[in-house]
């Protein structure tokens, strides 16, 4: 069962909808007691799923000026992913949040950067690095990079050693210091809640891509966040990057972030 769950998680474009459309997934028993035959289950992809060689995101800061603009974006993500709002700052869980330029780009900040840029709400999230240090550090492969570049977490395999948090140079990971469910006013049943003692982070909405939908933050951003395939020169992200100067967080570390910023 473990191996089929793993395969399920690793394949891009497979979703609950995908299963419904193709009931022919053999051996994928719900109880997990035994497989109908010894062969490994065959997994079909949802034909409507959004697929890419390498997913990337461009955050156009020219279109994000105020806190009021970014709040619904953050809210959209945290709501559908059952990210709790924990008042104790030490125990906060956040997948995407707004911060100042000097915090998003600590090595690029300088005194004369200008008030406007300094006060823009820069959205920061997991960078889904090309060469993710967190994946390198994880002792159980509970965090792994998928074929389309998305860095995912297996919440059921994570032992909570937090090596990935030390390894991440972007502070993108959160740890459940206590049971997060007690802080959820309402639960979205389309995405699993987590238990105490595991790490979590942004998943580039892998579950929505599999259903043919763009990430929730992109949808809520009113065009300020663009999502697409970095490998396809005709994609929206490539076109934007082609015609604008863009930066990534901590370029010098060689992690190769998939999140770009246009100032």
Partner 1 sequence: MLEHAIKGSNKYWIWIIALLAVITIGGLCYLKQFSFGLGITGMSRDVSWGFYIAQFTFLVGVAAGGVMLVLPYYLHDYKAFGKITILGEFLAVSAICMCLLFIFADLGQPARGFNVLLHPTPGSVLFWDMIVLNGYLFLNIFVGWIVLESERHSVPPPKWIKPFIYLSIPWAFGIHTVTAYLYCGLPGRGFWLTAILAPRFLASAFAAGPAFLIILCFIIKKFAKYDAGKEAIQTLAKIITYALIANVFFLICEVFVAFYSNIPEHMDHLKYLYVGLHGHGILVPWMWASVILMVVAIILLVNPESRKNETTLLIACVLLFIGTWIDKGLGMISGGFVPNPLHEVVEYAPTFLEILITIGVYAAGFFILTILFKIAISVKQEVGH
Interacting residues toward partner 1 by CB under 8 A? 88-94, 99, 102-104, 106-107, 124, 133, 136-142, 157-163, 165-171, 174-179, 195-199, 250, 253-255
**Measured from the CB of residue 240, what is the shortest distance to partner 1 in angstroms?**
25
C-alpha distance from residue 21 to each of 7, 18, 44, 73 (Å): 18, 5, 9, 30
Q: Which is nearer to partner 1, 41 or 197 (CB)?
A: 197
Task: Return the residue matching tokens 């240090």.
Answer: 133
Q: Which is nearer to partner 1, 153 or 238 (CB)?
A: 153
Other CB atoms within 10 A of residue 237 CB = 22
51-67 b/e (C-beta count within 10 Å ≥ 16 → b): ebebbbbbbbbeebeee
Q: Which is nearer to partner 1, 133 or 228 (CB)?
A: 133
Q: Kindly report the length of the chain.
A: 263
Cβ-contact 180, 93 below 8 angstroms: yes
**Measured from the CB of residue 102, what is the shortest distance to partner 1 in angstroms?**
7
**Measured from the CB of residue 89, what is the shortest distance to partner 1 in angstroms?**
7
Cβ-contact 121, 64 below 8 angstroms: yes
**Measured from the CB of residue 52, what is the shortest distance to partner 1 in angstroms?**
25
**Measured from the CB of residue 255, what is the shortest distance to partner 1 in angstroms?**
7
Q: Which is nearer to partner 1, 19 or 195 (CB)?
A: 195
With the C-alpha atoms ordered 72, 15, 160, 141, is the resulting torsion angle positive or negative? negative
Q: Which is nearer to partner 1, 136 or 190 (CB)?
A: 136
**Measured from the CB of residue 252, what is the shortest distance to partner 1 in angstroms?**
9
Task: Return the residue matching tokens 């394949």.
Answer: 11
Q: Which is nearer to partner 1, 114 or 171 (CB)?
A: 171
Two structure tokens written together for 59: 């955050």
């Amino acid at each position: 069962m473990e191996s089929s769950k793993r395969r399920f998680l690793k394949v891009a474009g497979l979703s609950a909808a995908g299963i419904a459309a193709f009931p022919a997934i053999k051996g994928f028993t719900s109880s997990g007691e035994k497989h109908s035959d010894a062969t490994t289950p065959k997994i079909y992809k949802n034909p409507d799923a959004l697929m890419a060689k390498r997913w990337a995101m461009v955050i156009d800061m020219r279109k994000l000026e105020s806190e009021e603009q970014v709040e619904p974006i953050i809210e959209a993500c945290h709501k559908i992913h059952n990210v709790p709002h924990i008042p104790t700052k030490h125990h906060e869980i956040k997948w995407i949040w707004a911060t100042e330029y000097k915090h998003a780009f600590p090595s690029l900040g300088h005194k004369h950067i200008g008030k406007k840029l300094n006060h823009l709400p820069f959205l920061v999230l997991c960078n889904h690095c090309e060469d993710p240090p967190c994946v390198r550090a994880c002792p159980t492969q509970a965090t792994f990079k998928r074929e389309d570049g998305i860095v995912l977490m297996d919440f059921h395999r994570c032992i909570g050693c937090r090596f990935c948090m030390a390894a991440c140079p972007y502070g993108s990971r959160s740890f459940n210091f206590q049971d997060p469910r007690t802080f959820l006013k309402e639960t979205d049943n389309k995405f699993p809640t987590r238990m105490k003692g595991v790490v979590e982070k942004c998943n580039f909405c892998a579950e929505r891509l599999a259903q043919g939908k763009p990430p929730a933050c992109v949808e809520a951003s009113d065009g300020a966040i663009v999502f697409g395939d970095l490998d396809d020169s005709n994609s929206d992200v490539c076109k934007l990057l082609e015609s604008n100067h863009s930066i990534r967080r901590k370029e010098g570390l060689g992690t190769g972030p998939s999140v770009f910023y246009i100032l």
